[in-house]
Structure 1
């Protein structure tokens, strides 16, 4: 999303075919403050205020919460919660990165900020074979390959991805370029492997976390991601 034109192999692709993290595609750490010490079954997802909590669908039983360190920070923590009865139970947490510019409630292509909000998680894929995902998994070593110029440190970013349903069509592979709200509103925002620094708008986590999430997030439990900087999440 941060570039106007990118090269996919030897194929030149237009602006509308780029993902948020800049890839051209075909047309156990400590949790955030208030999480680790929370009751085993809090009545609501810790650190999430009324504004966003009310947007979590009533049938959702799995929440991936991304707690950003600050509005302009690329650092965050990802925590997985599952619903048991009327309460939410913390399952595990991992260090993460978000957009290198931080967070925004009005995301646009190229702003290098991750969108704040509640988004469903419906589809997965990647360069590598399906590790046992419950979400529909699209293996394609071409569609998810990173550009050569990205260098070795980012070569494996998209070995595994989970599409965040921001400005995309649910039920399609993560690399699908359809943007219902228009190209200017960005898209191609994924959970993917971490390379040690901020992203263009995606959320990145360690390989072990991605494999665990792929094997755990279950369409029958209607998983969603709740993401943003901590102050905005508490609103």
Structure 2
């Protein structure tokens, strides 16, 4: 497939984070197992819950305390986090139907979990779901591994494997008329219905096309996504430079009430 062809496919399928349905390079891809039905492998697919203390969206206050356990997570969500995970990107949505969220990067230390700053973020236009489907405009709730990254721009020092490609080019406008250009300058694939260990551009959907895919962490364009989670470019660069495969990083994402289960 030529670069031009890949860009065309992205522009028509990325509707999940960039302006269409995020299923191919914008916000929907990993290897979910039954989203909404956590089980032994929920850490790689499923449904878990978590939420950093309810700091208002937009706050960048830095947490300095070390916590015994991640805040806002109920037993089911905590149970989905792998025992070897020492880095957790906690995405807490404002509400089940809200497209606004907070993101906090936690790292496990000998004394407990140490929190980073609270970053404002966007998720899907219609909020969150335990049973993500192609085109539903909701972000999947769950605990997912983070193994692969990429982007349109040069590698800023990513510890995760980084695929630089012109196929991350995106244009057009988002749900609120905001330009989408630059949204995929940096991305981290969220392992929902995708094959870990491959480029974020890989189209493999282990659960089938109907379950969506191409769910990413990517640069915020100032509005709701099709399914991805987006933060400011400087925060994406920080994630890329910080997430370490040897620390088995995961993302815990969902609305606050769901994460408390």
- Taking structure 2 as the reference length, the TM-score comes to 0.78
Q: SS in structure 2 opposite 1:51?
A: helix
Map of 2:169 onto structure 1:
145
Root-mean-square deviation (CA), in Å? 2.8
Are the equivalent residues in 1 in contact too, given 2:148–2:196 (CA < 8 A)? yes
**Residues 135 and 125 of structure 1: is their aligned pair in 2 closer, same or farther, counting only changes over 3 Å?**
same
Which runs of structure 2 are paired with 1:1-235 in the superposition (5 Å)? 9=4, 13=9, 18=14, 20-21=16-17, 22=20, 32-33=53-54, 40-85=65-110, 87-141=112-166, 143-148=167-172, 153-235=179-261
Are the equivalent residues in 2 in contact too, given 1:19–1:187 (CA < 8 A)? no
Are the equivalent residues in 2 in contact too, given 1:123–1:171 (CA < 8 A)? yes
Structure with greater contact order relative to length (CA < 8 Å, sep ≥ 6): 2
Map of 2:38 onto structure 1:
none
Alignment partners' CA distance in 2, 1:80 and 1:98: 16
- 1:78-123 per-residue CA deviation (whole Å, 9 max, x = no partner) reads 0000001251110222100000100000000000000000000000
**Residues 121 and 14 of structure 1: is their aligned pair in 2 closer, same or farther, counting only changes over 3 Å?**
closer
Are the equivalent residues in 2 in contact too, given 1:100–1:200 (CA < 8 A)? yes
Alignment partners' CA distance in 1, 2:5 and 2:244: 37
- 1:114-154 per-residue CA deviation (whole Å, 9 max, x = no partner) reads 0000000000000000000000000001x211145668721
Alignment partners' CA distance in 2, 1:16 and 1:195: 18
Q: Which ranges of structure 2 fall in alignment gaps of 5 or more residues?
A: 26-51
User: Quick check: which one's strand share is greater?
Assistant: 1
Are the equivalent residues in 2 in contact too, given 1:99–1:202 (CA < 8 A)? yes
**Residues 15 and 124 of structure 1: is their aligned pair in 2 closer, same or farther, counting only changes over 3 Å?**
closer
Q: Which ranges of structure 1 fall in alignment gaps of 5 or more residues?
A: 1-7
**Residues 9 and 108 of structure 1: is their aligned pair in 2 closer, same or farther, counting only changes over 3 Å?**
same
Are the equivalent residues in 2 in contact too, given 1:124–1:136 (CA < 8 A)? yes
Alignment partners' CA distance in 2, 1:34 and 1:45: 14
**How far apart are residue 39 of structure 1 and its match?**
8.0
- Taking structure 1 as the reference length, the TM-score comes to 0.86
**How far apart are residue 20 of structure 1 and its match?**
3.4
**Residues 72 and 165 of structure 1: is their aligned pair in 2 closer, same or farther, counting only changes over 3 Å?**
same
